Amino acid sequence: MSAEMEAGADVNRVRLALARSEFAVDVDLDLPARGITVLFGASGSGKTTVLRCVAGLERASEGFVRIGGEVWQDDAKGVFLPTWRRSLGYVFQESSLFEHLDARRNLEYGLRRARTPGGREALDEAIELLGIRALLARRPAQLSGGERQRVAIARALATRPRLLLLDEPLASLDLPRRREIMPWLERLRDQLAVPMLYVTHSVDELSRLADRVVVLEQGRTLAAGPVGEVLAQGDLPVLAGEDAAAVIEGVVGERDAHWHLARVRLDGGDGIFVRDGGQAVGARVRMRVLARDVSLALEAPQRSSIQNHLHGVVETVMEDVHPSQALVRVRCCGQALISRLTCKSVEELRIRPGLPVWALVKSAAVIA
Amino acid sequence: MAVLDDGAWQAIRLTLELASLTTLLLLIIATPLAWWLSQTRSKWRAPIGALVTLPLVLPPTVLGFYLLVLMGPQGPLGQLTLALGWGTLSFTFTGLLIGSIVFSLPFAVQPIQHAFEAIGPRPLEAAATLRASPLDAFFTVALPLARPGLLTASILSFAHTVGEFGVVLMIGGNIPGQTRVVSTQIYGHVEAMEYAQAHWLAGGMVAFSFVILLSLSLLRRSGGGFMR
């Protein structure tokens, strides 16, 4: 294989190894050219360290970082670019705006230094995307926590980075502020052609924002893949427990004004009813389905209060946290759902991989 | 009769000159030193920090004595200046300036160092992610954010130089127009029993010092918000 083809095969590649007194990190990531890859894990799992190493703020003892085809670190060849020579944007957990500059001059700080062609337009677009035009004359001290983070994100985008790194950007905010910023982040994900590496320990943020997930535990990759697949694995301790849930996607097919319901059609054609949240017909939405809200039946139920019936096939039966229960992964319309059943039901219905079943979804929450 | 005689005005002018020059040079010397002390993890940090603080606790006479020896014809600094054809620095304005800089060094370094430490690593890391080189980040982020510390350092250095006496007497002597500053002038008046002259100068010093301390506390109150 030629060197060129190899470079094209993985344009964004991050391989890091380092040992600290508290933990060791050993990861190998492949980032798609766009979309959000979430680094997910409990605190102390090393996810922030990974992010800081990618940025060059900390140095992995053995590392290879190539972003947009440009090598930032290659310890085999003694290459290490300092942070300020890397084309990246970084959003810190707490506000990192320069207190002595107003919002506009904060935004222009990186723009002036990066001198990337089209930076001015990129900044304008970011100001628009993040809705901060009215805030430009204010000092950071005059901005709310949510506004500061939006300015910080725009500031990071103004340099037209090849990679956007976000380190728990919502963690320092209270719930209402988080809800306020989340839609802006979704817009970035859907509209920017920049790969984003997003660190969080919140399942909520993971479910709403991630395209791909890398689950870290004590510095090691526990699972990696598209969000729907990783969440439905069901055997990841960090994602199991009471709130074990799957994320599925579909398109709003019709809205029923009388019952305030919307029917979301999954890719395979089956549809489920969800509370009408005002999404337009034709909009693509993401739904979170808790394992405890999914029951299984061997035949199509006739008269049941549960109206959402999806036909599927059992993939695996896994142990749950409590010995009385099991988590069953079912593939419906190409997407994975998980269902929490008692082991007794699993035994009596003889639920096993390959069995065709009906998944009865009691409720699904539209999250994005 | 004028309230202050020519000698007094000369002393005041000399004092202000000495204090302004000392402050200016101290800012240039103390800022990089304070930056190094705030950032380094070197094993030399503690000993150098202690050395910088030393003038704060030493009696001015001890400091003045060593500076005198250092600058005298037998001292290393004295031999250097002699070899360069500048003569010795003791009993000259330049010698006094060097003494004042050493004497007020902790008053300049400490506020600046604390200001740099209060900034923390985050703003500088943010600057690096926005393509600012370390030197660029120092001038465009660290220095502006440390402004209250720089102001405090300037005021303290200036006031402390105006108020110095022991070091001046040891290395400057008391030469009118050369090394006679307000504090030594007062001393001279008292020695000569000229209490009226001493009163005017001493009272002026009290008023000056009070204004300095007042403006410092007002500055802290208004400038503090910026740091938070």
User: Average pLDDT for residues A323-346, to the nearest whole number?
Assistant: 91
In a mutagenesis test of the B interface, which of A49, A67, A99 is the best target, namely the one with the most B β-carbons within 10 Å?
Answer: A99
Q: What are the extents of the domains in chain B?
A: 6-222
CB contact under 8 Å between A92 and B123, yes or no, is no
CB contact under 8 Å between B132 and A156, yes or no, is no
Q: Kind of pairing, strands A13-19 and A62-67?
A: antiparallel
Report d(CA A360, CA B78) in Å as an integer: 95
Tell me the per-residue pLDDT of B104-163, one tens digit each, with 9 for 90 and over.
999 999 999 999 999 999 999 999 999 999 999 999 999 999 999 999 999 999 999 998
CB contact under 8 Å between A96 and B122, yes or no, is yes
User: Average pLDDT for residues A110-120, to the nearest whole number?
Assistant: 88
B86 vs A141, residue with greater confidence: A141
Confidence bin at A100 (pLDDT 50/70/90): very high
| Å between B180 CA and nearest CA of chain A | 43
Confidence bin at A6 (pLDDT 50/70/90): very low
The packing angle between helices B6-39 and B182-191, to 10°, is 140
Tokens for A76?
A: 């085999």
Task: List, in order, residues 6 or more apart from A268 with CB less than 8 Å away.
Answer: A332, A333, A334
Task: List, in order, residues 6 or more apart from A235 with CB less than 8 Å away.
Answer: A318, A319, A327
User: Average pLDDT for residues A88-103, to the nearest whole number?
Assistant: 94
| Å between A140 CA and nearest CA of chain B | 10
Residues in chain B within 8 Å Cβ distance of A156: 129-130
Cα B51 to its chain centre, rounded Å, is 15
What is the assigned CATH class of domain A245-366?
Answer: mainly beta
- For the question of an ipTM over 0.95, the answer is no
Chain B touched by A81 (CB under 8 Å): no
User: Average pLDDT for residues A215-239, to the nearest whole number?
Assistant: 84
Chain A touched by B224 (CB under 8 Å): no
Helix locations, A56-159, DSSP H: 103-114, 119-129, 145-157
Task: List, in order, residues 6 or more apart from A47 with CB less than 8 Å away.
Answer: A39, A40, A41, A199, A201, A216
pTM across the whole model: 0.82
Residue range(s) in chain A whose domain bears CATH number 2.40.50.100: 245-366
CB contact under 8 Å between A109 and B127, yes or no, is yes
B225 vs A322, residue with greater confidence: A322
Report d(CA A85, CA A48) in Å as an integer: 20
| Å between B142 CA and nearest CA of chain A | 10
In a mutagenesis test of the B interface, which of A52, A83, A97 is the best target, namely the one with the most B β-carbons within 10 Å?
Answer: A83
Tell me the per-residue pLDDT of A121-133, one tens digit each, with 9 for 90 and over.
889 988 988 889 9
pLDDT for the residue B34: 97
Work out whether the CA dihedral A181, A182, A187, A190 comes out positive or negative. positive
User: Quick check: A236 pLDDT over 80?
Assistant: no
pLDDT for the residue B224: 47
H or E segment and range at residue B159: helix B147-162
CATH number for the domain running over B6-222: 1.10.3720.10
User: Quick check: A22 pLDDT over 80?
Assistant: no
pLDDT for the residue A267: 80
Residue range(s) in chain A whose domain bears CATH number 3.40.50.300: 3-231
- Bridge partners (DSSP) listed for residue A317: A328
Mean pLDDT of all residues belonging to chain B = 90
Tell me the per-residue pLDDT of B8-24, one tens digit each, with 9 for 90 and over.
899 999 999 999 999 99
Residues in chain A within 8 Å Cβ distance of B129: 55, 57, 83-84, 88-90, 110, 156
A74: buried, middle or exposed (CB in 10 Å: 19+, 13-18, 0-12)? Answer: middle
CATH number for the domain running over A3-231: 3.40.50.300
Provide the 8-state DSSP code for A280: P
| Å between A95 CA and nearest CA of chain B | 9
User: Average pLDDT for residues A67-84, to the nearest whole number?
Assistant: 93
From the list A83, A98, A100, which residue is nearest B129 (CB)? A83
Confidence bin at A215 (pLDDT 50/70/90): very high
